[in-house]
Structure 1
Amino acid sequence: MAEPRVSVLLAGGGTAGHVNPLLSVADALRARHPDAVVAVLGTAEGLESRLVPEHGYTLEVVPRVPLPRRPTLDLLRLPGRLKDAVDAASDAISRHGAQVVVGFGGYVSTPAYLAAHRRGIPIVVQEQNARPGIANRLGARWADAVAVTFPGTALPGAQVTGMPLRASIERLAAERAADPWGTRVRAAHALGLDPSTTTLLVTGGSLGAVNVNRAVVGAAAALLGSGVQVLHLTGTGKTDDVRAALRGVAGADRYHVREYLTSMEQALAVADVVVARSGAGTVCELAALGIPAVYVPLPIGNGEQRLNAASVVAAGGGVLVDDAEFTPAWVRSHVVPLLGGAGHTDAHHVRAAMARAAAGAGVRDGADRVVRLVESLLPAGGSAPARSVTGSAVPHRPAALSPATVALPMLAPPDDDAWDDEGWTQDVQDDPTDDGREPGTAATPAPEPTTTLADLGRRVHLVGVGGAGMSAIAPLLAARGLQVSGSDAHDGPALAGLRAAGVRVHVGHEAGLVDGVDTLVVSSAVRETNPELARARERGVRVLHRSQALAALMADRDAVAVAGAHGKTTTSAMVATALVEVGADPSFAIGGVVRSASGTLGGSRHGAGPFVAEADESDGSFLAYAPLVAVVTNVEPDHLDHYGTREAFEDAFVAFAARIRPGGMLVACADDDGARRLVAAVRDDLASRDVVVVTYGRAADADVRVSEPRPTQDERWEVEVTPRGERPVRLRLRVPGAHNALNAAAAWCALRRLGAAPETAARGLDAFVGTGRRFEDRGTVGGVRVVDDYAHHPTEVAALLRAARQVVGGGRVLALFQPHLYSRTRTFASQFGRAFDLADLVVVTDIYAAREDPEPGVTGALVVAHVPTPDRARFVADKVAAARLLADQARPGDLLLTVGAGDVTELGAVVLARLRERAGVGRA
């Protein structure tokens, strides 16, 4: 009788950390069982959607259902969404006749484990990290075999199999064993290196690690002086800073700088020592190859990178150093001696001992070990019936998954003992009558479900794609594997960058652009008469607001959403910059160009780490998000054209706070009356969902006290933040003003919730230079400095002018103001007038209408009429004439500001041109 055909379903995806081990096990299965049916369960948008078909395996798609990170009431709303994913996983088991399900963690594994457990299919769990993820902690409860990469991983029944290595690494290990010198020579020649010279490889991953880059290149003189060569993979967009630091350094021709390598095995073939982060894959590959390493764990997260490297370091195969301690001085005192040179003649022997220790701790056949676990669970002599939990046979697949009680394990981190380790139970099928309340308690309306990428389909079209908000999310959608197109009325500066990011862009709006599209994304500025929106409505195409598309991008990440009538762009940009600076690889979508000390970051970025978003409250669309951390810089009434009353505006922020994920954090400004009312309204409800509230500000009762900024001699602004019961932490900022001190404090609080140490968060904030149109320098002519700013609310204007007064010293502050929106100008005319009284001279243009129609009697003159000091303000309707008039009033030492949310930003060039004309006339 013929042997039964082997059929295995592998579940995992989203990141390379899950996909690469999965593919390694798939290849090993095929090698041992050439006729095996090997299928992969994944999502439509993860990395697996591309890599699995490329490797020749069938991809079965399930909807992504993130599990709550803590066992709170939000879990009770999970079953309905989870059921669909479990059904899809069970369908895949049936289609392929899967005899064993192997999970590698991530969102996809959860429904796979539930489906297999329900049907009695054997389960194998493979955990890559020393600290297991939520899905694998769940799956291990029911698993027949648990394979872990590192000793000490806290999963029941764990067997150490090591990491299933990439095929290229397995080949390199074999080549090095058979012909070490020949392998090194071939790799060195391919990279342009000298095979006879000791080589240091530096890498922070494909996106790099700024602190690692700075520390190593800061010690370049000492490294090169020891006679070694360096291959430094800086990460995308980070080569310029490293190359600049090498100018004038003796021996710099031996310091080879690249962004990244597509064939990383070449670099590993020639490396004598590696400096790297300690992701699970990195640690396992270096150990398997027997390469000594200096591990610099990522400073943000749950500490898993430190645990990943622990066993190799304990064996003597590597050195572990905290990111904050990894400095040029540390490299000179620790890395240089390891590489050799004068006074370190024993370096070769030290490295050889470390290499042996690393190889002894490493595993080269991890994939085969996992396959052997799978083989031990395959039926012998025929396909066995699926096993139920009670041991009796069950149908291969019921028509629909019926209600079943499933024990869900503790989802909190292993060191959190606040919950019963035996877990709790909940029906997998949704019960519409159950809102999760205890008897006799008041019901809290459940938030609307958050949009996911799977909801968008494959083809997405954005109307007004050149706008600040749309141009930020379009490339992110493309980076996540969607086919993205967009249209805009004008060929603006953003479109070239979108085309480079793979977005198909059309200038002009045409109904035909919607044909074949799964989802149309619009902003509040798009009217129903737009031909593309009209066609979408006619054909029943899904229409989503920009905020819903952004929510889909955020849904699977630890997200920070920053809201407030003002300050949100700067604060969100500060958080994003700091995360990039410390190597946390964030994604972000921000309505402005983010600038850091390392260079311009742009308005959006795709990464594998936390997601940072500017949350726009102008039309209530910020209620689409469900962040881990919500930052509220203020709740000062604005956008009353949408909300009508202050009370309605404040109610929207209460609803926004209710969207925070259980276990998350609300960060709110204690100096703002509206934010204080918000905290009072939501504190008890948030506490019931394990959401922490942190207030910051100069107020005496703030949880984090913020000092006034003090200028320093190196053109920084020094601020102290003092959490209650903790020591002060000093922030060094590159942006002026008390308002930016508050913004930085809010960002610092958010960074700490994401896992950054206090000093690490402070160091990250030091890299923030500013955002486009936030106190952005446009140039200086004839001693007159011209700065552009987006301020368009009275409080923003007042903060801007106070900061300008600090910066200008003995000069004057001149302002060219273009009001934004008729409704805002009418509502806040008197407040604008009082704010501009802080300037020495203001010229007000006519109103930038944006989405509104003109209102009789509402012009820029209304603002001028409310400036208290006589002759301090003038109204000039024509914006170009206004710009020239103000330039004519300027004199050396003055600071001239172009202010507003409209196209006033274009007038900086007009002012500078006028100043040049005057300077030329003066010299004649």
Structure 2
Amino acid sequence: MPDARPVSVLLAGGGTAGHVNPLLAVADELRRRYPDATLTVLGTAEGLEARLVPLAGLPLAVVPRVPLPRRPSLDLLRLPARLRAAVTAAGRAIDESDAQVVVGFGGYVATPAYLAARRRGVPVVIHEQNARPGLANRLGARWARAVAVTFPATNLRGAVVTGLPLRAPVAALVAHRAKDAAGTRARAAEALGLDPALPTLLVTGGSLGAASINAALAGAAGDLLAAGVQVLHLTGRDKSGPVVAARDALELDREVVSRYHVREYLDEMHLGLACADLVLGRAGAGTVCEVAALGLPAVYVPLPIGNGEQRRNAEPVVAAGGALLVDDADLDAAWVAAHLPALLVGSQSAQARARMAAAAASVGVPDASGRVVRLIEAQLPQREPAAPATHAAPAPASTSAVSPRPAVSPSPVEPVEPAEQPAVAGPVPVTELGRVHLVGVGGAGMSAVALLLAARGLVVSGSDASDGPALPGLRDAGVTVSVGHDAALVDGVDTLVVSSAVRESNPELAAARAAGLRVLHRSEALASLMADREGVAVAGAHGKTTTSAMIATGLLAAGADPSFAIGGTVLTADGPVGGGRQGDGPAFVAEADESDGSFLAYGPLVSVVTNVEPDHLDHYGTREAFEAAFVEFAGRIRTGGLLVACVDDDGARRLVERVRAGLEARGVEVRTYGRSAQADVRVGESAPRDGGWAFDLTALGAAETPDGAAAQVGTTTITLALPGAHNALNAAAAWAVLVRLGVPGPEAAAALGHFRGTGRRFEERGTAGGVRVVDDYAHHPTEVAALLRAARSVAGEGRVLALFQPHLFSRTRTFADEFGAAFDLADVVVVTDVYAAREDPDPAVTGALVVDRVPTPGRATFVPDRIDAARAIADAARPGDLLLTIGAGDVTALAPTILERLASRADDGGVSS
């Protein structure tokens, strides 16, 4: 039964600002989402929390301070008694507040909180703010249900990167800068007595200051001022004297000297950040994360003592190009004078800072509080169903995380029950997007979005690096298209749309960031388009394009007039239909891309999961993190909706086991499909019939239509134009969706017969010299194996030849063994070099990795050059063969080369049996 109690959470952390500030940020987000929640903070009477928690209006439960000794001492002998007292006090706080989840942020109070929660069976969620975790969180992570970390390099079991929850003033500053960067800067400058027109350097050594930073800046004060730089120097308590003396001794005009502002401390640090063009300071986790979230260029001088965590904190931003790293020993007046004026003054400085700002923003996390709260929500008891949330849009995947992994990481061994649709941000209404510009508009997915936005009456423009086949159709639809990228193209634009393939260095994206424009990921733009429709989102490591196209085709054939956005051309009996279509019907079908977590932007009525087979591990890191993203994807289905998942796939089956109870508790139906006896929609064997490929479909149970009528059909037959057991599975998923959207079962089966495939999915490219050439987008080992099995059934007595172009260095390296096994299903294989796509080249990874792992000797050959490879595979063919071009890159363009070679050899008598 759903839990009727209000949410109650115990938050444990204290001692330093590094623990208290993220705790308060998470508390603010919990209060925003659950106004009636009971929030209790566990802390000590001596720490910073004793002052800040009551100021925030939260109750503080006090426990004794119990430091964990790092080496043998008398404190180690006293530890057991002290720890028992602290655990008892923590347990009392848990019991009195009836806490449903304990959230720990490290520090002295965290260990007793974790131990007390464990004894009571209360779930624990941990957040570690530093790159090098503390003792308390290393202990608690052993049994925590979820572990959130700020930095990718943090080594904790089951960790998911969420970023650092921002203090409320800094979080507000992020939003204000996005809306009105210039106005926000001017108001902050007025409050601090600064000149908003001058390039401003903010210097900080933290609340205690840093003597080495103070000395270096004081020594270079004259150089900075003479160059035209304005300085806001926060020296730390009782450390301003030498800096003031050095400034006042300068032999410069007093008006110029007055531009060097010295303060010991700034309570309203967000005002200083609002004015800053460049920040110089220590690399504490809070500083690094706040500065990156604001997209500010920085120079970091890590603390030269301790365990090196400050250097590790800064490394992701430095690696992205958003900051410089200077050793404390190297920072002196000469270094400052040689480097900082060039970043602040002169014709090239603004461009350099814009590049650094874009890079910093690319690894900043403005929505970390929401990410941590989603982890907490996954552990709360089931609650009464709630209405879908309608909040502001989430940050785009390209800018929202140090490492944009999914925000929910359930325990890999325990079920997760998302009791209600997460109260996370909703899409920006289409009417508020204004003039929209799309970067990379020629891509299949982006061109579909552009067409849909134009069809909704928006002024749409776009750019691409080169002219391509999609651009003429876009121009015909009224989209202004430019070839080449130029910052000037965003002039007058209100919203910029990008895909994950667009790098922060792109001049249009960099200009949009600098101007404070709204930047949406492609998925967020799609979420806006489908917000007022019956959204259908299809996800899975493979099969999603075909399945979403089948659903769209079925709805078209049934007269439902759907809208859809699919990453490929949809082939129908009446001819090809572009991947984007605006219809007047209620349904909107979207292919949901899980590769970068962007599929979490949707809040659909129906979600389809074709499989949860690990892929994109360059982004997710682990199988557990990949599967966790699908848990959240399922949790975003609207109340009263439907989850359709393939029970034949181990990952999808685990997903259903984790989420079924929670989804059904709020009225979301779960339907499985597959060949398994446990499937609700069961697929029989497929075989050639009437010029197509037929299979029987048996629906078990009663899937209800929207009007409540039973739709149980027993067994029906579906005949597809495409071969392959995998296509039968895709059709089963599509059938279940069509029935949920109101198409009667027999009509849904007949409608799917209209599907003729999609562009680059077993797409006929021609026949020459008796050799049939087919192109396919398969780029994952499971897809390749399914394709080759289907090809074998089509080839008959002929052989199956494969020309394969690996896609992504990371995927090739990770799945080399699986690719090798899959290609052993072909008779002849030629492998080209890797198509890099969004990755930088890796000289250690080539197509030879795949060739070396094909079990049968001599079956596969590595030919690096793609043109040479096309000719090699053509030369190996003979009449009756089926030749496949395979991959997600530009291998598709080689079909004409192959056909020409085959025809030439046939004319010369070179193709023989």
TM-score range, shorter chain: 0.5 to 0.7
Check 1:526–1:827 CA distance in 2 against 1; reply closer, same or farther (3 A cut): same
1:506 aligns with 2:493: no
Query: SS of 1:592's equivalent?
Result: coil
Determine the C-alpha separation between the residues in 2 that align with 1:642 and 1:650: 13
Q: CA RMSD in A?
A: 2.6
Match of 1:711 among 688, 700, 718: 688
Tell me the equivalent position of 2:835.
Answer: 848
- Cα deviation, 1:368-397, whole Å, max 9, x if unaligned, reads xxxxxxxxxxxxxxxxxxxxxxxxxxxxxx
Determine the C-alpha separation between the residues in 1 that align with 2:436 and 2:470: 18
- Cα deviation, 1:706-746, whole Å, max 9, x if unaligned, reads 0111101x311111110115410110100110000000000
Contact 1:447 1:659 in 2 (8 A): no
Contact 1:785 1:894 in 2 (8 A): yes
Contact 2:554 2:752 in 1 (8 A): yes
Tell me the equivalent position of 1:567.
Answer: 543
Determine the C-alpha separation between the residues in 2 that align with 1:909 and 1:820: 21
Tell me the equivalent position of 1:19.
Answer: none
Tell me the equivalent position of 2:613.
Answer: 636
1:446 aligns with 2:422: yes
Query: SS of 1:591's equivalent?
Result: coil
Contact 1:618 1:639 in 2 (8 A): yes
Contact 2:769 2:906 in 1 (8 A): yes
What aligned pairs does 1:580-595 form with structure 2 within 5 A after superposition? 580-595=556-571
Tell me the equivalent position of 2:883.
Answer: 896
Determine the C-alpha separation between the residues in 2 that align with 1:442 and 1:909: 50
Tell me the equivalent position of 2:466.
Answer: 490
Tell me the equivalent position of 2:337.
Answer: none
Tell me the equivalent position of 1:294.
Answer: none
Gaps of 5+ in 2: 1-31, 37-384, 393-416, 702-712
Determine the C-alpha separation between the residues in 1 that align with 2:534 and 2:805: 38
Determine the C-alpha separation between the residues in 2 that align with 1:518 and 1:426: 27
Tell me the equivalent position of 2:663.
Answer: 686
1:870 aligns with 2:857: yes
- Cα deviation, 1:730-764, whole Å, max 9, x if unaligned, reads 10100110000000000000001001100111111
Match of 1:860 among 837, 847, 857: 847
1:745 aligns with 2:757: no
Determine the C-alpha separation between the residues in 2 that align with 1:867 and 1:900: 17
AA matched with 1:605: R
Contact 2:847 2:864 in 1 (8 A): yes
Contact 2:390 2:425 in 1 (8 A): no
- Cα deviation, 1:528-586, whole Å, max 9, x if unaligned, reads 11111111111100001000000000100001110000000000000001111111010
Determine the C-alpha separation between the residues in 2 that align with 1:595 and 1:450: 33
Match of 1:727 among 710, 714, 727: 714
1:549 aligns with 2:525: yes
Q: CA deviation at 1:782?
A: 1.5
Q: CA deviation at 1:857?
A: 1.7
Query: SS of 2:748's equivalent?
Result: helix
AA matched with 1:863: V
Check 1:424–1:802 CA distance in 2 against 1; reply closer, same or farther (3 A cut): closer
Contact 2:386 2:420 in 1 (8 A): no
Tell me the equivalent position of 1:837.
Answer: 824
- Cα deviation, 1:598-648, whole Å, max 9, x if unaligned, reads 221111110011100100000000000011110000000000000000000
Match of 1:912 among 896, 899, 902: 899
TM-score (norm 1): 0.52
Query: SS of 1:858's equivalent?
Result: coil
What aligned pairs does 1:668-817 form with structure 2 within 5 A after superposition? 668-712=645-689, 714-725=690-701, 726-817=713-804
Check 1:429–1:486 CA distance in 2 against 1; reply closer, same or farther (3 A cut): closer
1:532 aligns with 2:513: no
Tell me the equivalent position of 2:453.
Answer: 477
AA matched with 1:860: G
AA matched with 1:540: G
Query: SS of 1:448's equivalent?
Result: coil
Determine the C-alpha separation between the residues in 1 that align with 2:588 and 2:455: 14
Query: SS of 2:492's equivalent?
Result: coil
Match of 1:650 among 605, 627, 632: 627
Match of 2:573 among 591, 597, 600: 597
Determine the C-alpha separation between the residues in 2 that align with 1:511 and 1:428: 33
Determine the C-alpha separation between the residues in 2 that align with 1:645 and 1:746: 27
Q: CA deviation at 1:449?
A: 2.2
Query: SS of 1:922's equivalent?
Result: coil
Check 1:78–1:613 CA distance in 2 against 1; reply closer, same or farther (3 A cut): farther
What aligned pairs does 1:599-638 form with structure 2 within 5 A after superposition? 599-609=575-585, 610-638=587-615
Contact 2:804 2:829 in 1 (8 A): yes
Q: CA deviation at 1:828?
A: 0.1
Check 1:500–1:865 CA distance in 2 against 1; reply closer, same or farther (3 A cut): same
Determine the C-alpha separation between the residues in 1 that align with 2:898 and 2:693: 28
Contact 1:683 1:693 in 2 (8 A): yes
- Cα deviation, 1:792-850, whole Å, max 9, x if unaligned, reads 00000000000000001110000000000000000000000000000001000000000
Determine the C-alpha separation between the residues in 2 that align with 1:810 and 1:848: 33
Determine the C-alpha separation between the residues in 2 that align with 1:529 and 1:856: 23
Q: CA deviation at 1:427?
A: 15
Q: CA deviation at 1:457?
A: 2.5
Determine the C-alpha separation between the residues in 1 that align with 2:541 and 2:390: 42
Query: SS of 2:900's equivalent?
Result: helix
Query: SS of 1:699's equivalent?
Result: coil
Determine the C-alpha separation between the residues in 2 that align with 1:784 and 1:428: 55
Check 1:456–1:708 CA distance in 2 against 1; reply closer, same or farther (3 A cut): farther
Gaps of 5+ in 1: 1-75, 81-422, 431-440
Query: SS of 1:466's equivalent?
Result: coil
Determine the C-alpha separation between the residues in 2 that align with 1:815 and 1:447: 48
Check 1:576–1:504 CA distance in 2 against 1; reply closer, same or farther (3 A cut): same
Check 1:678–1:496 CA distance in 2 against 1; reply closer, same or farther (3 A cut): same
Contact 1:588 1:613 in 2 (8 A): yes
Q: CA deviation at 1:919?
A: 1.0
Query: SS of 1:843's equivalent?
Result: strand
Query: SS of 2:815's equivalent?
Result: helix
Contact 1:730 1:762 in 2 (8 A): yes
Contact 2:823 2:854 in 1 (8 A): yes
Contact 1:718 1:733 in 2 (8 A): yes
Query: SS of 1:791's equivalent?
Result: coil
Contact 1:79 1:428 in 2 (8 A): no
Q: How many residue pairs get matched?
A: 497
Query: SS of 1:728's equivalent?
Result: strand
Query: SS of 2:579's equivalent?
Result: strand
Contact 1:864 1:875 in 2 (8 A): yes
AA matched with 1:710: A
Query: SS of 1:543's equivalent?
Result: strand
TM-score (norm 2): 0.53
Determine the C-alpha separation between the residues in 1 that align with 2:834 and 2:418: 47
AA matched with 2:771: V
